[in-house]
């Protein structure tokens, strides 16, 4: 028997290895493992095909099948021999009891571990007090503790009466506290708010004067809640209305383009930055929204860009656009088109050009895309310089008027 | 439950949980009850098959005589496969029947089922209708299997054509799965499926 001191040392050194010992116990090395029960070989036998099994395991298997469980080769009881070599090796193995952490110093053959665990004096003890599950009613004085969830559940099911009693006692104490410490001090603000919703006392005439403050507060509180609710409702109404207004605005602007009767005024906003972008990239073009020559007539739009030949000139073209009623229109589009660059102050300075459509041009054929790729107009409508010198720009906006009259 | 069966399942359970397939999310095993007699398996649909992206749940029942007899395994997730019943989820796989060996484990069973999904055996069918489609119209089989994977196993490939046809039958008052099964059996021929459902 080792001395007390060396004992404790041994425990400490084995503490660190606890997990590995447990693993070794639960999963033996492959050569000591029976492929059928996956545990340590017990009375190992060797088959003619070279596999080891527990004697009982392989005999049980051979009662059903006559093939090796591992490689499916034919196998009979005559092809099995005791493997005393492996038996000796296993019997020489020593594992420590998994309870070594709690002080069991037993060293065992792996085959005996299971049997030993059932009787080991150092079995996992009941959980220490602080790890036990407390009864859910501990707050009101139930001191019971439990090892696991099902046990707790059973207790809760059985002790309803006791828990109810504890609860009612606790409640009684609570209400005593309330009155003694004064209603205002001990109840939380939320509880007070809830109080305001209580129905007024039936015998309101018996109210003592100091309740007037409470009555006032209650009235105020009710009013606030009412107003808050109303604000929320109003917010929703306003949000809905502004949504409606913006959708109306959208359809209104479309309406205007539809009912302009072929006379459309394009406010080309932010003209200077558009011009800068076009100067940087000569391929950039700007298009006006589409407008109609009559409510169910042709749909046109204006395009401006810098003339590809000479980028000192602004080009203005008109494009025919696709509509849903193109079928009902005559093609190619024919009529009179005029483009006017409006001078914002002096109307005599405005530049107006009128042209007649030419039926042979692709620009006036029925559009197959959203818009005919070919437009009709002037590549050199006006010098850009002139636009600025003659003050055509007002509020950074260029005004172009289109008049289209189908014939 | 016999001690050996429970002990073995406990050990196997640890083996599956530690295996690298679990790390790759390819297979999974969960306990259904405390006695280790019933488990829930999960396999991922193998890549490059119509089952890719789906997760298939399996019901595993461990007999008293395990591991001398095979576990009873069945697909709980509906699946379109020649060797698996599209109605009951019953599996036709030799190792779950006469080719079972005591050295096989839950892990090898789940991996074998995954292999079965990548390589069907239409000559040894469990579901004759599916097997016929597999042999005669492989493309239609793949469309159907992928659609079932999408609907029942959470696969990523939505087939709006299939969904539309099913909706047509549902609008006529047919239950959705019944409609899907009928359409699947008749190569998504709406007329023939309708005929069969109303005859």
What is the DSSP track for A6-23?
HHHHHHHHHHTTHHHHHH
Total domains, chain B? 2
Q: How confident is the model at residue B59 (pLDDT cuts 50, 70, 90)?
A: very high
Length of chain A: 407
Is residue B166 one of the residues assigned to a domain?
Answer: yes
DSSP A337: E
pLDDT at A160: 81
Asked if B52 and B99 sit in the same domain, the reply is yes
Residue labelled with tokens 């709406």: B190
| Residue where one domain finishes, among candidates A63, A93, A119 | A119
Q: Is B127 on the interface with A (CB under 8 A)?
A: no
Residue A335 CB coordination number (10 Å): 16
- State whether A70 and B14 contact (CB < 8 Å): no
**A356 and A271 in one domain?**
yes
Mind telling me how many Å the CA of A249 is from chain B's nearest CA?
38
CATH code of B12's domain: 3.10.110.10
Same domain, A282 and A398: yes
Q: In this structure, what are the phi and psi dihedrals at residue B157, rounded to the nearest 5 degrees?
A: -95, 105
Q: Are residues B93 and B61 in the same domain?
A: yes
Candidate from A20-29, A36-45, A106-115, B76-85 with smallest mean pLDDT: A20-29
Q: How far apart, in whole angstroms, are the C-alpha atoms of residue B69 and residue A69?
A: 11
Contact yes or no for B68 and A64 at CB 8 A:
yes
Residues A327 and A374 in one domain: yes
Q: Do A57 and B7 make contact, defined as CB atoms within 8 angstroms?
A: no
Please check whether residue B4 touches A, CB under 8 A: yes
Distance from A300 to chain B by nearest Cα, in Å?
39
B101 in a structural domain = yes
Reported as a single tens digit per residue, the pLDDT across A138-190 is 777 787 777 677 778 878 877 787 888 888 888 887 776 665 554 444 445 55
Domain count, chain A: 4
- A77: nearest Cα among A69, A86, A67: A67
Chain A residues whose CB is inside 8 A of the B103 CB are 35-36, 69-70
> Which of B92, B110, B113, B145 is the catalytic position?
B92
Is there a single domain that holds both residue A242 and residue A221? yes
CB contact under 8 A, A36 and B103: yes
Does A268 lie in the same domain as A251?
no
Name residues whose C-beta falls within 8 Å of residue A133's C-beta, 6 or more positions apart in sequence. Answer: A145, A146, A147, A148, A149, A151, A152
Supply the DSSP symbol for A128: P
Instruction: Find, among A267, A361, A353, A350, the residue nearest to A319 by Cα.
Output: A361
- Give pLDDT, residue A81: 92
Res. A99: pLDDT tops 90 = no
Tell how far CA A296 is from the center of its chain. 48
At A266, is the secondary structure helix, strand, or coil?
strand
Within a domain: residue B37? yes
Q: How far apart are CA A65 and CA A73, in angstroms?
A: 11
* Structure tokens given for A295: 């409510």
**Do B11 and A39 make contact, defined as CB atoms within 8 angstroms?**
yes
Same domain, residue pair B13 and B66: yes
Task: Identify the pLDDT of residue A188.
Answer: 57
pLDDT of residue B124: 87
At which of B55, B89, B118 does a domain end? B118
Are B102 and B137 within one domain?
no
Predicted pLDDT of residue A302: 93
Measured between CA atoms, how close is B71 to chain A, in angstroms?
14
ipTM score = 0.75
Residues A146, A85 share a domain = no
Catalytic site residue B162?
Answer: no
Q: Which residues of chain A neighbour B67 with C-beta distances below 8 Å? A: 36-37
* Same structural domain, B99 and B16: yes
A111 touches chain B (CB under 8 A): no
Q: Which residue has the tokens 């502004």?
A: A242
Query: What average pLDDT does the segment B29-35 reach?
Result: 81
Which pLDDT band holds residue A17 (cuts at 50, 70, 90)? very low
For residue B167, is it within any domain? yes
> In terms of CA atoms, which chain A residue is nearest residue B15?
A27
Does B143 share its domain with B165? yes
Cα–Cα distance between A159 and A227 in angstroms, integer?
48
Report the C-alpha gap between B29 and A198 in whole angstroms: 56
Q: Cβ distance A291 to A301 under 8 Å?
A: yes
Q: By the CB < 8 Å criterion, does A117 face chain B?
A: no
Tell me: do B110 and B132 sit in the same domain.
Answer: no
Using CA atoms, how far apart are residues A192 and A183, in angstroms rounded to an integer? 9
CA-based max dimension of chain A: 126
Q: Give CA–CA dist A58/A69, Å, rounded.
A: 8
> To the nearest whole angstrom, how far is the Cα of B193 from the nearest Cα of chain A?
40
Q: Give domain status of residue B123, yes or no.
A: no
Residue A302 lies inside a defined structural domain of this protein: yes
Residue A176 lies in a domain: no
CB A132 within 8 A of CB A143: no
B32 and B95 assigned to the same domain: yes
Who's near B63: CB < 8 A, 6+ residues apart? B5, B69, B71, B72
Q: How confident is the model at residue A6 (pLDDT cuts 50, 70, 90)?
A: very low
Helix (H) or strand (E) holding B181: helix B176-185
pLDDT at residue A210 is higher than 70: no
* CB-CB under 8 Å, B99 with A37: no
Alpha-carbon distance of A71 to A103, in angstroms, equals: 44
Q: How many CB atoms lie within 10 A of CB A276?
A: 9
User: Which among A400, A397, A401, A389 is positioned nearest to A274, based on CA atoms?
Assistant: A397
What contacts 24+ positions apart, CB below 8 Å, involve B46-50?
Answer: B46/B114, B46/B115, B46/B117, B46/B118, B48/B118, B49/B117, B49/B118, B49/B145, B50/B80, B50/B141, B50/B142, B50/B143, B50/B145, B50/B146, B50/B149
Q: Could you tell me what percent of chain A has a pLDDT over 90?
A: 16
| Among candidate residues B118, B143, B165, the one where a domain is terminated | B118
Cα B178 off chain centre by: 18
* C-beta atoms surrounding A56 within 10 Å: 15
A67 — phi, psi (to 5°)? -145, 155
CB B157 within 8 A of CB B146: yes
Q: Is residue B144 part of a domain?
A: yes
Q: Which domain holds residue B145?
A: 128-198
> Which of these three, B58, B86, B118, is where a domain ends?
B118
- Please check whether residues A136 and A98 belong to one and the same domain: no
pLDDT at B110: 92
Q: Is the minimum CB–CB distance between B135 and chain A shorter than 8 Å? A: no
Cα separation of B84 and B87, whole Å? 9
Q: Residue A22: which pLDDT band, with cuts at 50, 70 and 90?
A: very low
- pLDDT band of residue A199 (cuts 50, 70, 90) is low
Of A109-118, A288-297, A363-372, B154-163, minimum mean pLDDT range: A109-118
Report the C-alpha gap between B114 and B77 in whole angstroms.
Answer: 14
CA distance B35 to A239: 60
Alpha-carbon distance of B184 to B129, in angstroms, equals 9
Residues B12 and B40 in one domain: yes
Using only C-alpha atoms, chain B has a radius of gyration, in whole angstroms, of 18
Q: How many Å apart are CA B60 and CA B113, to the nearest integer?
A: 12
Question: Is residue A181 domain-resident?
Answer: no
Same domain, A275 and A371: yes
Same-domain pairing of B56 and B94: yes
Shortest Cα distance, chain A CAs vs residue B127, angstroms? 28
User: Are A339 and A377 a contacting pair, CB within 8 Å?
Assistant: yes
CATH number at residue A377: 2.60.210.10
Contact A36 B67 (CB under 8 A): yes
Q: What three-state secondary structure class fits A101? A: helix
A108 & A156 share domain = no
In a domain, A170, yes or no: no
Q: Is residue A236 part of a domain?
A: yes
Are the beta carbons of B101 and A68 separated by less than 8 Å? yes
- Enclosing domain of residue A74: 4-119
One domain, residues B48 and B137? no
**A269 and A401 co-located in one domain:** yes
* Strand-pair category, A351-356 with A335-341: antiparallel
Least confident of A169-173, A327-331, B125-129: A169-173
A239 versus B15: which is more confidently predicted?
A239
Identify whether residues A305 and A365 lie together within a single domain: yes
More confident site: A37 or A178: A37
Among B68, B100, B108, which would you mutate to test the A interface (most chain A Cβ atoms within 10 Å of its Cβ)?
A: B68
- Is there a single domain that holds both residue B96 and residue B33? yes
Residue B152 has pLDDT above 90, yes or no: yes
Short-list A322, A310, A277, A276, CA closest to A378: A310
pLDDT of residue A125: 59
Helix (H) or strand (E) holding B36: none
Residue A184 covered by a domain: no
Whether residue A239 sits in one domain with residue A330: no
């Amino acid at each position: 028997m080792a001395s007390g001191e060396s004992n404790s040392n041994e425990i400490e050194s084995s503490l660190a290895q606890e997990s590995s010992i447990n693993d070794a116990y639960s999963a033996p090395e492959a050569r000591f493992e029976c492929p059928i029960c996956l545990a340590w070989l017990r009375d190992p036998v060797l088959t003619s095909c070279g596999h080891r099994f527990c004697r009982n395991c392989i005999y049980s298997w051979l009662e059903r099948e006559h093939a090796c469980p591992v490689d499916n080769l034919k196998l009979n009881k005559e092809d099995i021999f005791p493997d005393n070599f492996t038996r000796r090796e296993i019997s020489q193995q020593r594992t420590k009891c998994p309870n070594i952490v709690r002080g069991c110093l037993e060293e065992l053959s792996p085959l005996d571990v299971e049997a030993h665990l059932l009787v080991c004096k150092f079995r996992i003890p009941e959980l220490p007090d602080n790890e036990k599950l407390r009864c859910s009613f501990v707050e009101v004085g139930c001191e019971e503790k439990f090892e696991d969830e099902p046990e707790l559940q059973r207790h809760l099911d059985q002790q309803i009466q006791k828990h109810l009693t504890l609860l009612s006692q606790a409640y009684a104490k609570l209400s005593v506290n309330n009155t003694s410490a004064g209603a205002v001090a001990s109840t939380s603000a939320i509880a007070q708010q809830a109080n305001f919703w209580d129905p007024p006392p039936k015998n309101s005439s018996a109210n003592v004067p100091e309740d007037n403050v409470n009555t006032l507060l209650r009235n105020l509180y009710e009013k606030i809640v009412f107003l808050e609710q109303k604000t929320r409702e109003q917010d929703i109404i306003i949000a809905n209305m502004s949504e409606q207004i913006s959708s109306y605005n959208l359809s209104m602007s479309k309406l205007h383009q539809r009912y302009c009767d072929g006379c459309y005024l394009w406010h080309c906003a932010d003209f200077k930055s558009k011009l800068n972008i076009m100067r940087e990239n000569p391929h950039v073009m700007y298009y006006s929204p589409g407008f109609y020559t009559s409510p169910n007539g042709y749909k046109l739009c204006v395009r401006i860009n810098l003339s590809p030949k000479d980028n000192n000139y602004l080009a203005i073209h008109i494009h025919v656009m696709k509509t849903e009623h193109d079928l009902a229109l005559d093609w190619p589009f024919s009529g009179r088109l005029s483009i006017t660059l409006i001078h914002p102050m002096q109307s005599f300075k405005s530049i107006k050009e009128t042209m007649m459509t030419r039926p042979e041009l692709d620009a006036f054929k029925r559009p197959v895309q959203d818009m005919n790729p070919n437009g009709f107009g002037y590549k050199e409508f006006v010098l850009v310089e002139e636009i600025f010198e003659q003050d055509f720009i007002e509020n950074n906006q260029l005004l172009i008027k289109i008049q289209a009259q189908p014939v | 439950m016999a001690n050996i069966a429970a002990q073995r399942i406990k050990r196997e359970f640890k083996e599956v949980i530690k295996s690298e397939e679990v790390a790759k999310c390819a297979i999974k095993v969960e306990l259904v009850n405390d006695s280790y007699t019933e488990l829930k398996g999960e396999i991922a649909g193998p890549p490059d098959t119509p089952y890719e992206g789906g997760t298939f749940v399996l019901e595993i029942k461990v007999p008293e005589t395990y591991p001398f007899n095979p576990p009873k395994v069945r697909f709980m997730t509906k699946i379109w496969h020649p060797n698996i019943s599209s109605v009951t989820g019953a599996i036709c796989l030799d190792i779950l029947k006469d080719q079972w060996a005591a050295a096989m484990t839950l892990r090898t069973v789940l991996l074998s089922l995954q292999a079965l999904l990548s390589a069907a055996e239409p000559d040894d069918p469990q579901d004759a209708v599916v097997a016929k489609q597999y042999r005669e119209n492989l493309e239609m089989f793949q469309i159907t299997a992928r659609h079932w994977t999408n609907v029942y196993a959470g696969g990523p490939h939505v087939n709006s054509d299939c969904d539309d046809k099913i909706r047509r039958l549902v609008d006529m008052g047919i239950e959705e799965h019944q409609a899907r099964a009928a359409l699947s059996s008749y190569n998504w021929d709406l007329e023939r499926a309708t005929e069969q459902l109303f005859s």
